[in-house]
Amino acid sequence: MAMKLLPESDGYAVVAGSIQQLSEELYKEYQLTGYSILLEDIVKAFIEETKSYAGWATLDCQTKAITSIELNETIELNGDEYVIILPLVKAHCDLLQARLVEATRGLGVESYGLSVSEAQQNYNEKKEALPKLAFLMVPKSFNMGNR
């Protein structure tokens, strides 16, 4: 994760990376664990789950946009967005992998990992938790003056 100085503040924003970069990191991790899903599958999962997140919370890139933006692999996610979206993306990828493994069972390949029903249940749980995790309201104070 990189840090960028925000011009309108005294602080730094933690930038996790673009959806493409984050997908490539996850793809490398999955290659080491025997997953057979493609990088394109992970990018699609990241985009889909980021769209879900954007339905419940405002992405940082939305607050800085002066025109409408297309949610694609070039969108950069901040650290806080990334840690909320990543478990959902991983559950999505687990489901894709479980479907691939189950599809090969007919070819006589030994099944390993999560079953489709287990992966689907895990994905559903992560998806249901998203609204609670995504909702964030910055504390505000109101100066009532001297009364």
Query: Across-strand partners of 77?
Result: 17
pLDDT of residue 89: 98
Cβ neighbours around 73 below 10 Å, total: 17
C-alpha distances out from residue 96 to 13, 51, 146, Å: 32, 18, 60
d(CA 1, CA 31): 21
If one compares 137 and 143, the residue with the highest pLDDT of the two is: 143
DSSP string, 2-13: EEEE-TTSSSEE
Reported as a single tens digit per residue, the pLDDT across 37-87 is 999 999 999 999 999 999 999 898 888 888 888 999 999 999 999 999 999
Structural domain spans, the chain: 2-6+18-134
Local confidence band at 20 (pLDDT 50, 70, 90 cut-offs): very high
Comparing CA positions, the residue from 95, 22, 85 lying closest to residue 55 is: 85
Q: What is the mean pLDDT of residues 33-40?
A: 94
> How far apart, in whole angstroms, are the C-alpha atoms of residue 130 and residue 138?
18
At what angle are helices 79-104 and 39-56 packed, to 10 degrees? 130
Residue with tokens 């287990």: 118
